[in-house]
Structure 1
Amino acid sequence: MYKRQQPYCQAKSGDAKHVGGVLVTGQDANKPVERREPNADMTTEQFKEAYRNKLYSLYAKTLEAASDKEKYLTLASLVRDEISRTWLQAKKLRAQQQENQEKQVYYFSIEFLLGRMLDIHMINLGLKDTCERGLRELGIELAQLREEEEDPGLGNGGLGRLAACYLDSMAALELNGHGCGIRYRYGLFEQQIIGGAQYEFPDDWLKYGYYPWEYRAADEAVEVRFGGAVRLQANGRIVYIHENYEAVSAVPYDIPITGYHNNTVNTLRLWSAEAELAKQACAAGQTDCRNTLQYKQSLESISHVLYPDDTYHEGKVLRLKQQYFMVSAGLQNILRDFRKMNLPYANLPDKVAVHINDTHPALAVPEMMRLLVDEAGLSWEDAWDITVRTMSYTNHTILPEAMEKWPEDLFRTLLPRIYMIVHEINERFCRELWDKYPGNWEKIRHMAIIADGYIHMAYLAIAGSHSTNGVAVLHTDILKKEVLHDFWEIYPQRFNNKTNGVTHRRWLLAANPKLASLVTETIGEAWLEDPCRLQDLTQYADDAAFQKEIAEIKRRNKQVLARIIQQKNGIAVDSDSIFDVQVKRIHAYKRQSLNVFHIMDLYQRLLEDPDLPVWPRTFIIGGKAAMGYYIAKRTIKLINSLAEVINNDKRIRDKIKLVFLANYNVSLAETIIPAADVSEQIPTASREACGTANMKFMMNGAVTLGTLDGGNIEIREAAGHSNIVTFGLTAPEVLQYYRQGGYNPWDIYHSDPRVKRMLEKLVDGSLSSDREDFRAHYDSFLHHGDQYFVLKDFAAYVAAQEIINGKYQDQKVWRRMCIHNIAHAGWFSSDRTFAEYAAEIWRLNEAAISCQDGCEQPGFSPIAKRLGTMLQ
């Protein structure tokens, strides 16, 4: 047992107080702050009685007769009942907020990767201990019921998980906010590995509905229009009439987002595309029911899958439809609520903030203009001023292929009125550029929203919003100096940085409960609402007893993952080996291939010397490749082909194992991340915007092995240079190569025999009977210039892996590193990030933040310093 420490973040004076981990001062501090206790008054006996009654009312079954699915739904229904009672109060509060005209934020994202909700709701409502104890007395294990819950197929990777973390923090900080997205029927896809290769199957996560976590609100449906034509009608002023369009009904489904121990329930509103059969049949003049049903399926395909394959025309059409469908439905809903305030539209930016998460919702800019000009009757100038002051935009990439753009002809046909508005925005923007750069046609063409037959969505988002932020210090710097430099020159006041964060409540408290309990036992529970207080753990970094407990928790987590690997892959792995983990979307710039090349080299060295002094290593890789991304799918095949060779070679005495875990999702991540020793964060420097997986691993005591890119740089600054292992080219060096050339991968091929040997094994039949299986990789490295500098960084990466091997063998040093990573992870909580958004971009009242003593950290924004960040 470790003594509790006094919180180090204290208010400066008596007129300040903490609300949800944020220090509130001034007028807000004088308001009564009600810290409502969770539902800790329910006894175990009351829970058991309620559980039996709910099971009987739902299924008319006894405990002995009920299936695990029915037992799960019974528990979830009880939790839903409690949420509903709290949510009703929250909706009444929101109505009061509208009457009081308090500002609301709406977060638009194409993805919301929520993960399973039962556990997090029980934690937030203060019910988990009672439920778990009561179930056990009934002979039921909570862990077994949790496995019955489907992961909602509402996202894919970091973008969607970030949006989910932000919703969690918004509710935890009691901020007035809501998410807006699409209710995908099949999500992305279920990944299965057959013959070592990825195959995609529908992710039928809604097969039984999303009961009990969603509420259909059909009475609030709106209409979204596609195609048709626009004619002008002069009636005192020019009116735009949209006719002969295809109408889709957008029906909202609301998912509650609970706040941690504060009785706050916010809303994630997801829109489903639906068609009214009778209306559509009548409008189309059809009499054949078969045609009617086909038409219905065509309309409703808008909300069927996340990221339709856009390598063909129909897929492009569907993606563009999705993006407009989401923003049109969402903005119509927002303005409908705003009108209830009985305020002039000029007040909209003071009462509403609309945030564009990446370019997918960028059509919110012209759609807001349409609603204000065509439907509200405002002048263009007034509508534009309102739109810009209401909108804000987060850029998540610097990759050219991810800078979304749409063919002008497709856009004009599908969205005729929106095209007219975008065209007008572009004309006015180009006139602004002409005034600033007279005669410089090339610069204007380079910055134009419409150019060379394409509409550039990032440019539209920047021009139509008052804030553009990057998601890591380096990323924002590259945006300003490189990728969006021209826009930064004309709008320097609009650019700012908001380093990403992850919610410690899911990624530590829920995912790693034994570690969370040890942390609370050691420093007290204040870190749950004020994660910067994790830094109090630093004083125990050299404590032998604390180190031992940390190591034992890690080993137990590794044993759990080892059992899953045995069940899923049939591979026995050593829980005492180093668990070296790289789990993320499969993409060339994330460089799973660099990881593979090191494994190939280590395997070869072990063949040459089985007594090589290396600690046994289990390499774990997971992630999905986009359906149309050929080389990424071949990378998965390469990983599994190499695994087949290594895992069956007795000559290396099980010194290394390689495992690819299929269908990586939030639930699998919640098992993998707490078990990881090494966190592989190895993208080409300058290519990764930030990353959030690095923060989740850090929070669970893994040591980052990474390039100096994105959030890795800030992790190094926070945890200390000695508690992370970095390698490879820096971002300036990479950008210099991109600008001026000077790198030839053949030089490395001829100078490093390890590289030559590895590359030849790709095509000599060593890994596949079909020598062409990995020809694309071979060619990309040697004949296509090694775009992501895999060969260039190989020697440095191998050297970094040697450092990892050496440090791990000194367990006292390794455990100290792990503890420092946990202790300094608090700054990377999404609570900090979201409070920065609220205070600096959206100007929400609840985010009036005052400086605290002892929270200085160079290199970060003033608001971050004032949130109780880590001491160096």
Structure 2
Amino acid sequence: LNGLFLRVYYLSLEFYMGRTLQNTMVNLALENACDEATYQLGLDMEELQDIEEDAGLGNGGLGRLAACFLDSMASLGLAAYGYGIRYEFGIFNQKIVNGWQVEEADDWLRYGNPWEKARPEYMRPVHFYGRVEHTPEGVKWVDTQVVLALPYDTPVPGYRNNVVNTMRLWSAKAPCDFNLKDFNVGGYIQAVLDRNLAENISRVLYPNDNFFEGKELRLKQEYFVVAATLQDIVRRFKSSKFGSTEVVRVDLSTLPDKVAIQLNDTHPAMAIPELMRILLDTEHQTWEKAWDIVTRTCAYTNHTVLPEALERWPIDLFQNLLPRHLEIIFEINRRHLERIANLYPGDHDRLRRMSLVEEGDQKKINMAHLCIVGSHAVNGVARIHSDIIKATLFKDFYEVDPHKFQNKTNGITPRRWLVMCNPGLAEVIAERIGEDYIRDLDQLKNLLEFVDDDSLIRDIAKIKQENKLKFSAYLEEHYKVKINPNSMFDVQVKRIHEYKRQLLNCLHIITLYNRIKKEPNKNWTPRTIMIGGKAAPGYHTAKLIIRLITAIGDIVNHDEVVGDRLKVIFLENYKVTLAEKIIPASDLSEQISTAGTEASGTGNMKFMLNGALTIGTMDGANVEMAEEAGEENLFIFGMRVDDVDAMDKSGYDAMEYYNRIPELKQAMDQIAGGYFSPDQHDLFKDIVNMLLHHDRFKVFADYEAYIKCQDKVSALYKNPKEWTKMVIHNIAGCGKFSSDRTISQYAREIWGMEPTPNFCIYLWLFHKKNKC
């Protein structure tokens, strides 16, 4: 029974939850009853839903994955908690002004949050700064500054199984005591104002995706959530009996048998030295015993191979902010390097590569190395990604501890990303194979029996067209642009980043535009190309990419020769709620990152489940999507990981492609010559210079293959029946990409517990074990 009574703590600095009302109604089977009740009151449920603010406490994939995981953990009956920060301001609201991104604060708590409940009885102190004293009685961290962590609980209901888990988010509060001597010298007002500095810790989400920003406030956030959470974990573990809040003296040696801590990327990495500090300084365990407890309790998920995204904190900052933790990390590193030296005597270069402390002009702590050394399991988030980290990024660590490394391909919750956002398609599927697929997405493969069924083909095509008409009306209302709902909806929505290659999409748009201009009487497949996403406020190139997209749209959309055969729209303020509208209406999903750069992707899975076909590289989860649906049912193009590696060794010469491919040269010359920026000819000179001379992501190398693949897309779209049959193959291949499957694998292979969707059995066993 041990696995049944183990609690999972999912630590993440981001939870991109979106709206809660409709998702809760779906999971509690109350949607029809609530619709009827509001109708009887003369209200419209959709209007009520539109009033709710998105809980945008995440940047993109990592935060949304955490939200999907919470849904699956509840739906599978796991005793699981999500822990994070209750940011007062979430991911910024994006406005497009004169073609440029402008950021506005996301004051999502302006009118309160009806889903949360403050729990002041569980408020916890978190310490910063100070100094360390080594005394005969033990080590003491003294003269610290204290910030209080106030928890807010949000219910996370499982899908129709009477389970409700909890997401607990911490808010920073200043303590009530004041320094009276400051008041005596006239500093009362300043002392009160300085209280706000402490509360800045939970003020705002850092708006960076796949980019590390080594600011003191960010390290404070990371330690704040970890310190408060671990106190909560220990309190709950020490509770004297079921339902008690009294903390008693309990030996923590059995902690790994009852507690699993999952670190969502390196952001909560401070959990490792903080748990060591608690065990050593408070619980007075030996180092060896404490380290055994920590490593058996913690597990680490890696989400990126991009070097600029990996966290490396300066030692000077650590020394000032968290001096005791720096001592502990140094000792972890000393013992770790001693072990490596014994395994590989004389290999000093290996010691340097594997050290937790990186030498250089400024010594830094490598947080990924800390996570690997301090965890019993390390996983990537798609098979190709897990292979890459074993072969390159963490190769040395894999050679030493191969048993630690696993793969857990990401997934999405079918409740939000099908039943809720695309009820028409969910119903059509249920009519053929029953409703059980919502709990067991593998059952979607039963749709293959109907792949040639004209009625299913007709129904799926009809649902797609209805979704497109609905989204067209939305665009007309909110963007004041009228589009052709019979055109192909070609969509790329994700964070704006060079590695995601929105620039490759731009080159295709320009190429298509030039072809239509050259042969206006040809029978072109009409396209509405939509690109959306936010750029980090300090990321100049990403913001310039947005400006290029809007500039191309300005020219293309007003060209009478082109008409409605090609439209380009930048979707402003892309977020969860907008994704729920655009994804069900999409025909083509763009997943075109350079092979080996996208860890997994989850947007690709959402599009696939909602009946969009994928054009993409063999990167991230695209590889497994092609396996599940059949590579012939996706539009795969471009270099594979081995090709990219070979090009890195031989050298990438962008000018060779520029000089050899006339359409590419024409598109680049138009961008460089001001065709799309007539008022400022050199507006895009930085993009042109980057693409021609220092493009890390090799856009030109995949241009030819991409254009040819897009031609195949256009040709197939003219045959609606064959297109829809390919769509059915894709939907039928989605079973693997349920977050229920992902979480079941985490539970069995990392946390050592068995999913228990039947909560009644779980409750009966629990009461029997505890005799209560």
Q: Same fold (TM over 0.5)?
A: yes
Q: What is aligned with 1:611?
A: 521
Q: Spell out the pairing of 1:53-202 with structure 2 (5 A cutoff).
A: 102-202=5-105
The 3-state SS of whatever aligns with 2:56 is: coil
Taking only aligned residues, the RMSD between alpha carbons, in angstroms, comes to: 2.0
Contact 1:274 1:300 in 2 (8 A): yes
Residue 311 of structure 1, CA deviation = 14
Deviations 1:432-455 (A, max 9, x none): 111112222121111110111111
Q: Spell out the pairing of 1:182-331 with structure 2 (5 A cutoff).
A: 182-211=85-114, 213-235=115-137, 239-279=138-178, 287-307=186-206, 316-331=215-230
Q: What is aligned with 1:25?
A: none
Q: What is aligned with 1:347?
A: 254
The 3-state SS of whatever aligns with 1:654 is: helix
CA–CA distance in structure 2, aligned partners of residues 234 and 435 of structure 1: 32
CA–CA distance in structure 2, aligned partners of residues 354 and 509 of structure 1: 30
Residue 846 of structure 1, CA deviation = 3.5
Deviations 1:185-218 (A, max 9, x none): 001211111110111111000101111x001001
CA–CA distance in structure 2, aligned partners of residues 483 and 536 of structure 1: 40
Q: What is aligned with 2:709?
A: 800
Choose the corresponding residue for 1:763, options 663, 672, 690.
672
Contact 1:620 1:660 in 2 (8 A): yes
Structure 2: which amino acid aligns with 1:320?
Answer: L
Choose the corresponding residue for 2:599, options 689, 699, 705.
689
Q: What is aligned with 1:498?
A: 408
Contact 1:281 1:292 in 2 (8 A): no
Residue 305 of structure 1, CA deviation = 1.1
Contact 1:476 1:496 in 2 (8 A): yes
Choose the corresponding residue for 1:432, options 339, 359, 362.
339
Residue 474 of structure 1, CA deviation = 0.4
Structure 1 runs not aligned, ≥5 long: 1-27, 29-96, 850-872
Residue 240 of structure 1, CA deviation = 1.8
CA–CA distance in structure 1, aligned partners of residues 143 and 34 of structure 2: 56
1:811 partnered with 2:720:
yes
Residue 824 of structure 1, CA deviation = 1.5
Choose the corresponding residue for 1:380, options 266, 287, 297.
287
Q: What is aligned with 1:402?
A: 309
1:833 partnered with 2:751:
no
CA–CA distance in structure 2, aligned partners of residues 677 and 667 of structure 1: 19
Residue 565 of structure 1, CA deviation = 1.4
Structure 2: which amino acid aligns with 1:356?
Answer: L
1:421 partnered with 2:328:
yes
Q: What is aligned with 2:382?
A: 472
Structure 1: which amino acid aligns with 2:736?
Answer: W
CA–CA distance in structure 1, aligned partners of residues 175 and 184 of structure 2: 14
Contact 1:686 1:735 in 2 (8 A): no
Q: Spell out the pairing of 1:470-869 with structure 2 (5 A cutoff).
A: 470-738=380-648, 740-768=649-677, 769-784=679-694, 786-846=695-755
CA–CA distance in structure 1, aligned partners of residues 142 and 464 of structure 2: 63
The 3-state SS of whatever aligns with 1:597 is: helix
1:457 partnered with 2:360:
no
CA–CA distance in structure 1, aligned partners of residues 209 and 597 of structure 2: 23
The 3-state SS of whatever aligns with 2:215 is: helix
Structure 2: which amino acid aligns with 1:199?
Answer: V
Q: 1:286 to 1:596 in 2, by over 3 A?
A: farther
The 3-state SS of whatever aligns with 1:240 is: strand
CA–CA distance in structure 2, aligned partners of residues 695 and 101 of structure 1: 30
CA–CA distance in structure 2, aligned partners of residues 783 and 616 of structure 1: 34
CA–CA distance in structure 2, aligned partners of residues 205 and 560 of structure 1: 27
Structure 2: which amino acid aligns with 1:675?
Answer: A
CA–CA distance in structure 2, aligned partners of residues 246 and 534 of structure 1: 55
Q: Spell out the pairing of 1:19-58 with structure 2 (5 A cutoff).
A: none
Contact 1:748 1:791 in 2 (8 A): yes
CA–CA distance in structure 2, aligned partners of residues 427 and 761 of structure 1: 57
- Worse-matched range after superposition: 129-138 or 303-312: 303-312
The 3-state SS of whatever aligns with 1:688 is: coil
Contact 2:618 2:640 in 1 (8 A): yes
CA–CA distance in structure 2, aligned partners of residues 331 and 127 of structure 1: 36
CA–CA distance in structure 2, aligned partners of residues 244 and 528 of structure 1: 54
Q: 1:394 to 1:285 in 2, by over 3 A?
A: farther
The 3-state SS of whatever aligns with 1:268 is: strand
Q: 1:656 to 1:419 in 2, by over 3 A?
A: same
CA–CA distance in structure 1, aligned partners of residues 352 and 178 of structure 2: 45
The 3-state SS of whatever aligns with 2:755 is: helix
Contact 1:308 1:319 in 2 (8 A): no
The 3-state SS of whatever aligns with 2:522 is: coil
Q: 1:733 to 1:848 in 2, by over 3 A?
A: farther
Contact 2:182 2:191 in 1 (8 A): no
Residue 462 of structure 1, CA deviation = 0.2
Contact 1:309 1:315 in 2 (8 A): no
Q: What is aligned with 1:92?
A: none
CA–CA distance in structure 1, aligned partners of residues 254 and 390 of structure 2: 31
The number of residue pairs the alignment matches comes to 746
CA–CA distance in structure 2, aligned partners of residues 480 and 185 of structure 1: 38
Q: 1:798 to 1:101 in 2, by over 3 A?
A: closer
The 3-state SS of whatever aligns with 1:489 is: helix
Q: What is aligned with 2:243?
A: none
Q: 1:290 to 1:663 in 2, by over 3 A?
A: farther
Contact 1:308 1:318 in 2 (8 A): no
Q: 1:846 to 1:101 in 2, by over 3 A?
A: closer
TM-score, scaled to structure 2: 0.94
CA–CA distance in structure 2, aligned partners of residues 836 and 328 of structure 1: 28
Q: 1:686 to 1:144 in 2, by over 3 A?
A: same
The 3-state SS of whatever aligns with 1:110 is: coil
CA–CA distance in structure 2, aligned partners of residues 143 and 312 of structure 1: 37
Q: 1:522 to 1:310 in 2, by over 3 A?
A: closer
Deviations 1:523-559 (A, max 9, x none): 1111121111111111111111111111111111111
Residue 403 of structure 1, CA deviation = 1.3
CA–CA distance in structure 2, aligned partners of residues 548 and 286 of structure 1: 80
Deviations 1:324-363 (A, max 9, x none): 1111111111011111257521100000000000010111
Deviations 1:256-287 (A, max 9, x none): 00011111000001000111344467789875
Residue 293 of structure 1, CA deviation = 3.7
Q: What is aligned with 2:271?
A: 364
Residue 222 of structure 1, CA deviation = 0.7
Residue 504 of structure 1, CA deviation = 0.3
Q: 1:477 to 1:643 in 2, by over 3 A?
A: same
Residue 736 of structure 1, CA deviation = 2.4
Residue 289 of structure 1, CA deviation = 4.2
Structure 2: which amino acid aligns with 1:292?
Answer: A
Contact 1:310 1:316 in 2 (8 A): no
The 3-state SS of whatever aligns with 1:223 is: strand
